[in-house]
């Protein structure tokens, strides 16, 4: 309406008006409040927009929430039934109890655990969805939205930004004639996030080519002589591998009442038997088992095994 | 869609003619910051009119952003070798020197002004602007520009159907960009960027830097110029940034003015 008015006011309108009028018309695909509405003020078409996109999103999210609510109710009823079947209190019946009950009631010979029957809360069964990525005019939040993989490409963008930052730091150091001592920080004990880990983190699916590019870009950042300043960012892209080796601590000898050193080890296993063993130094060569000598064991084989 | 593109292109051509002849200046008063000077009240005394942004030939004063010597210093005039010339770029070429084509900066200047003006108008109307380029050397610069002006960038591999099949590609209904600015219209030395054809199909206007080996036919606002040298690309980036920020600034001012005068509309 505003536009029509502007045009009719000036009979000799210029080419630029025409361009802009076309431009405005092309935006109107995303505008539900059409400019033909006589009641809206003249400038509403320029400044107040409600987008079809947002409307569609609100509808979708409403449908999804309703579905999840229904699933949640079904899960709770199922849980109560299970508790009653198992003869337990439905109020204190936990997810662990549910898993055990299912395992008991539906025994399965399937090797793969994911193939066996299960009953999980709907939040775990249905994957999380991305929230609305745009505001009420339909304008996306993320500046790389139109790539379709905004989170992934954002990391690549940040990597390059940091690399340029390091380059300028290095230039400043060279200018000030300070010697750069190459400090490498230790990357051992950690590895890059795997493709699937990265995908779950980004909530985006990646191709092998894209994942290789990601690793290459990060390795380039690591290879920089000042990369230790970006340790925090780099370690976010890596997974620390924990050591699982058991520590073996040698017991300290203690002094007995008679001045001799001794070491006592409890819970020494032999099949289902458990023994407590005390070794004394300096010893006398005597072996005592349950207040008897080595002949406590009747077989030769057992007697041979005792000192080893 | 073709009708639409032709219309917009015709407008661009008309602009060229007017650029050569003395421009049609009328007695426009560019509104000052004061409340009284912004807009006029129409006869019914109900609607408050904003300044006639569309009627002014250069409302955002984009022509003042650059001079031809700026373009020359940024090496915008340097084209490719003679052999790689696209015939459709002939009108924009000044000549050739030592086998290299030289782009006519007078024409570039006019077309660039028109493109910047259009960009500023789109920004003023809260259009979504998408910057595209697939030149790896300049892609970081382009992404940074998009981030700075809070617009959008796509400098990666273009998956086919990002515009034409957007509902499937984004998994939901999506608002498409209202203007695409291509800082490089080629992906390799021979292949055109896929987004150009898709934008033409979807009726999205394209502002594009076209070098001597590019096809300007599907570009709504072609700007003949060097699209490889980082200095030149940096100049384009700073110009687009300035134009977009000017448009957004005016939008903010007018929005504030409208918000302040809202009660008088309802009364």
Asked whether residue A112 is domain-assigned, the answer is yes
User: Looking at beta carbons, which residues of chain A come within 8 Å of B14?
Assistant: 15
Together in a domain, A156 and A221:
yes
Together in a domain, A230 and A285:
no
- Residue of B117, B127, B153 with shortest CB distance to A144: B153
Residue A50: what pLDDT?
64
- Residue of B53, B55, B154 with shortest CB distance to A10: B55
Residue A49: what pLDDT?
61
Partner-chain contact A23 B178, CB within 8 Å: yes
Q: How confident is the model at residue A11 (pLDDT cuts 50, 70, 90)?
A: very low
Q: How confident is the model at residue A47 (pLDDT cuts 50, 70, 90)?
A: low
Q: Judge residue A88's burial from the number of C-beta atoms within 10 Å of its C-beta, 0-12 exposed, 13-18 middle, 19 or more buried.
A: middle
ipTM over 0.85 threshold:
no
Encode pLDDT of A103-130 as tens digits. 999 999 899 988 999 999 988 888 767 6
B139-148 and A150-175 helices, crossing angle to 10°: 110
To test the contact with chain B by mutation, choose from A5, A9, A11, A15 the residue with the greatest count of B C-beta atoms within 10 A, namely: A15
Together in a domain, A118 and A187:
no
Together in a domain, A225 and A290:
no
User: Looking at beta carbons, which residues of chain A come within 8 Å of B156?
Assistant: 147, 153
Residue of A nearest to B13 (CA): A15
- Residue of B14, B55, B255 with shortest CB distance to A6: B55
Size of interface A-B (CB pairs under 8 A): 141
Calculate what percentage of chain B has a pLDDT beyond 90.
66
- Residue of A21, A134, A146 with shortest CB distance to B130: A146
CATH architecture designation of domain B63-266: 3-Layer(aba) Sandwich (3.40)
CB-based contacts of A68, cutoff 8 Å, min separation 6: A122, A123, A126
Q: What is the mean pLDDT of residues A213-225?
A: 92
Length of chain B: 267
Which residue has tokens 């029957």?
A117
Calculate what percentage of chain A has a pLDDT beyond 90.
36
- Residue of A19, A145, A146 with shortest CB distance to B11: A19
To test the contact with chain A by mutation, choose from B143, B168, B220, B243 the residue with the greatest count of A C-beta atoms within 10 A, namely: B143
Closest CA to A146 of B136, B170, B91, B231: B170
B residues 125-144 lying closer than 8 A (beta carbon) to A:
125-128, 130, 140, 143-144
**Distance of alpha carbon A184 from the chain centroid:** 27
Q: Does B57 touch chain A (CB under 8 A)?
A: yes
Give the CA distances from residue A225 to residues A133, A185, A230, in Å, rounded to whole numbers and listed in that order. Answer: 38, 10, 11
Q: Which residues pair with A265 in a beta bridge?
A: A277
Instruction: Please say whether the beta carbons of B179 and B243 come within 8 A.
Output: no
Partner-chain contact A26 B152, CB within 8 Å: no
Residue A20: what pLDDT?
40
How far is the alpha carbon of A70 from chain B, nearest alpha carbon, in Å? 23
Residue of B nearest to A10 (CA): B55
pTM: 0.67
Partner-chain contact B11 A60, CB within 8 Å: no
Encode pLDDT of B12-65 as tens digits. 444 444 434 333 333 444 444 333 333 433 333 345 566 788 888 889 999 999
Together in a domain, A174 and A151:
yes
Q: Which residues pair with A90 in a beta bridge?
A: none
To test the contact with chain A by mutation, choose from B44, B54, B264 the residue with the greatest count of A C-beta atoms within 10 A, namely: B54
Partner-chain contact B152 A146, CB within 8 Å: yes
Cα–Cα–Cα angle for A48, B258, A21, rounded to 5 degrees: 55
User: Looking at beta carbons, which residues of chain B come within 8 Å of A51?
Assistant: 175
Average pLDDT over chain B, rounded to an integer: 82
Asked whether residue A140 is domain-assigned, the answer is no
Residue A10: what pLDDT?
36
Expressed in angstroms, the distance from the first to the final Cα of chain A is 100
Partner-chain contact B204 A26, CB within 8 Å: yes
Encode pLDDT of A18-43 as tens digits. 344 343 433 433 433 333 344 444 45
Asked whether residue A134 is domain-assigned, the answer is no
pLDDT score of B9 more than 60:
no
CB-based contacts of A77, cutoff 8 Å, min separation 6: none
Helix (H, G, I), strand (E, B) or coil at A112: coil
Per the structure, the count of domains in chain A is 4
Which residue has tokens 């001799």?
A260
Encode pLDDT of A266-297 as tens digits. 888 888 989 999 999 888 888 999 999 888 99
* Tokens linked to A112: 């793969």
Together in a domain, A10 and A84:
no
Q: What's the domain range around A210?
A: 147-240
Partner-chain contact A46 B130, CB within 8 Å: no
Partner-chain contact B147 A143, CB within 8 Å: yes
Q: Does B198 touch chain A (CB under 8 A)?
A: no
- Residues B133, B240: Cα–Cα separation, whole Å: 14
User: Looking at beta carbons, which residues of chain B come within 8 Å of A145?
Assistant: 152
To test the contact with chain B by mutation, choose from A7, A10, A19, A213 the residue with the greatest count of B C-beta atoms within 10 A, namely: A19
Partner-chain contact B173 A145, CB within 8 Å: no
B residues 16-35 lying closer than 8 A (beta carbon) to A:
18, 24, 26
Residue A187: what pLDDT?
81
List phi, psi (to 5°) of A187: -100, 0
Higher-confidence residue of B96 and A126: namely B96
Asked whether residue A156 is domain-assigned, the answer is yes
To test the contact with chain A by mutation, choose from B124, B128, B250, B257 the residue with the greatest count of A C-beta atoms within 10 A, namely: B128
Q: Does B90 touch chain A (CB under 8 A)?
A: no
Q: What residue ranges do the domains of chain B occupy? A: 63-266
Asked whether residue A133 is domain-assigned, the answer is no
User: Looking at beta carbons, which residues of chain B come within 8 Å of A30?
Assistant: 175-176
How far is the alpha carbon of A146 from chain B, nearest alpha carbon, in Å? 6
- Residue of B8, B127, B255 with shortest CB distance to A19: B8
* Tokens linked to A37: 């509405």
How far is the alpha carbon of A129 from chain B, nearest alpha carbon, in Å? 11
């Amino acid at each position: 309406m505003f536009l029509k008015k502007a045009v009719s006011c000036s009979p000799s309108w210029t080419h630029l008006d025409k361009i802009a009028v076309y431009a405005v018309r092309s935006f109107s695909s995303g505008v539900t409040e059409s400019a033909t509405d006589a009641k809206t003020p003249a400038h509403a078409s320029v400044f107040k927009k409600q987008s079809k996109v947002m409307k569609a999103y609100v509808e979708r999210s409403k449908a999804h929430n309703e579905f999840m609510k229904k699933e949640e109710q079904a899960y709770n009823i199922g849980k109560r039934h299970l508790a009653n079947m198992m003869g337990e209190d439905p109020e204190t019946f936990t997810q662990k109890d549910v898993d055990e009950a299912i395992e008991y009631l539906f025994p399965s010979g399937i090797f793969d655990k994911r193939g066996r029957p299960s009953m999980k809360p709907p939040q775990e069964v249905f994957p999380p969805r991305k929230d609305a990525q745009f505001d009420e005019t339909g304008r996306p939040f993320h500046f790389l939205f139109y790539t379709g993989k905004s989170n992934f490409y954002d990391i690549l963008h940040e990597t390059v930004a940091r690399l340029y930052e390091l380059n300028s730091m290095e230039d400043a150091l060279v200018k000030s004639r300070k010697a750069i001592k190459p400090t490498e920080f230790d990357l051992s004990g950690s590895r890059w996030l795997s493709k699937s880990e990265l995908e779950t983190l980004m909530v985006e699916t990646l191709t092998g080519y894209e994942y290789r590019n990601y690793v290459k870009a990060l390795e380039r950042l690591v290879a920089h002589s000042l990369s230790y300043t970006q340790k925090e960012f780099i370690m976010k892209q890596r997974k620390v591998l924990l050591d699982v080796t058991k520590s073996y601590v040698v017991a300290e000898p203690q002094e007995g009442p008679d001045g001799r050193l001794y070491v006592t080890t409890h819970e020494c296993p032999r099949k289902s038997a458990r023994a407590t063993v005390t070794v004394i130094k300096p010893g006398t060569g005597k072996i005592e088992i349950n207040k008897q000598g080595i002949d406590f064991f009747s077989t030769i084989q057992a007697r041979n095994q005792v000192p080893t | 869609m073709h009708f639409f593109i032709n219309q917009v292109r015709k407008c661009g051509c008309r602009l060229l003619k007017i650029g050569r002849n003395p421009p049609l200046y009328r007695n426009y008063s560019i509104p000052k910051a004061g409340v009284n000077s912004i807009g006029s009240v129409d006869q019914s005394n109900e609607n408050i009119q904003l300044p006639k942004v569309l009627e002014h030939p250069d409302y955002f004063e984009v022509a003042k952003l650059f001079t031809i010597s700026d373009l020359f210093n940024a090496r915008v005039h340097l084209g490719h070798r003679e052999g790689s010339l696209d015939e459709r770029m002939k009108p924009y070429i000044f000549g050739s020197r030592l086998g290299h084509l030289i782009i006519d900066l007078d024409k570039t200047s006019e077309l660039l002004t028109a493109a910047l003006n259009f960009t500023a108008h789109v920004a003023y109307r809260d259009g979504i602007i998408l910057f595209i380029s697939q030149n790896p050397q300049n892609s970081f610069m382009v992404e940074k520009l998009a981030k700075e002006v809070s617009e959008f960038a796509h400098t990666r591999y273009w998956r086919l159907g990002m515009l034409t099949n957007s509902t499937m590609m984004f998994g939901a209904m999506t608002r498409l960009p209202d203007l695409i600015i291509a800082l490089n219209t080629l992906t390799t030395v021979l292949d055109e960027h896929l987004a150009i054809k898709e934008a033409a199909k979807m009726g999205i206007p394209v502002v594009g830097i076209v070098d001597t080996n590019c096809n300007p036919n599907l570009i709504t606002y072609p700007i003949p110029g060097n699209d490889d040298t980082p200095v030149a690309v940096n100049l384009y980036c700073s110009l687009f940034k300035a134009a977009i920020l000017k448009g957004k600034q005016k939008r903010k001012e007018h929005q504030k003015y409208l918000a302040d005068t809202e009660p008088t509309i309802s009364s």
